[in-house]
Structures are given as structure tokens and as C-alpha cells.
Amino acid sequence: MVALKEGFIMELNYCLIGKRIRRYRLSKNITQEELAFRIDTSASYLSKIEGGKKRPSLEKLCGIADALGITVNDLIYDSSQSYTNLPNKEFNELLSRNNL
């Protein structure tokens, strides 16, 4: 779950996040092995993330997004939906630490 301002909580859908990672990876012609190397993890673990079987940390999502040349928002949020609430202070601090 991601806690947002005003008590709004959004449940992350890790299956959709995994599908988005796979879609972006394939669109850039990057293999699982290559992306795994770029984010310092195993291809097996990346496969489980893409399959929705593992829940990556926010830091791992930041690394994946960076390696794919996209934003974490591209992975977390459906581009067809509009989100007006901003992430809470902790979420912003973590994003700031990762230069996002």
C-alpha cells in the first residue's frame, strides 16, 4: 500500500507493475538478463517481479525505472487514470534520495 495525503491509501497492483516492467523492457529490446544486470539482481528474481510473484521495494522499482529510462510513476500508475493526491512525506523523501 502507498499512503497518500488526506488518509487516502492506494493498494499497489504488483501484477500490473510487473506487466508494465515487461512491456517497457520488451519495447526497448532489453533481455531479462540485461535488465537484471543493470539493477544488480538475478534474472530469476526479475522474472518473478514481472510475473507478479515478488513485490519489489520502492528502491528496486526506482532502479528498474532508471534502467528503462522511465519514471516510477510509469510503473505504478495507469496512464489512463488521473491521481490528484500527492504521496506522503516519506514517499517524497525516498524519491528525493533517488533523484527522482
Rounded CA separation 15/75 (Å) = 11
2-97: which CATH topology? Answer: 434 Repressor (Amino-terminal Domain) (1.10.260)
In angstroms, the Cα distances linking 45 to 9, 22, 40 are: 27, 13, 11
| More confident: 2 or 13 | 13
Domain spans in the chain, listed from the N-terminal domain onward: 2-97
DSSP, collapsed to helix, strand or coil, labels residue 44 as helix
pLDDT at 4: 47
pLDDT tens, residue by residue, 56-81: 999 999 999 999 999 999 999 865 44
86: pLDDT confidence band, cut at 50, 70 and 90? very low
Average pLDDT over residues 19-34: 97
Rounded to two decimals, the pTM is 0.71
**With b meaning 16 or more CB within 10 Å and e meaning fewer, what string describes 46-74?**
bbebbeeeeebebebbbbbbbbbebebee
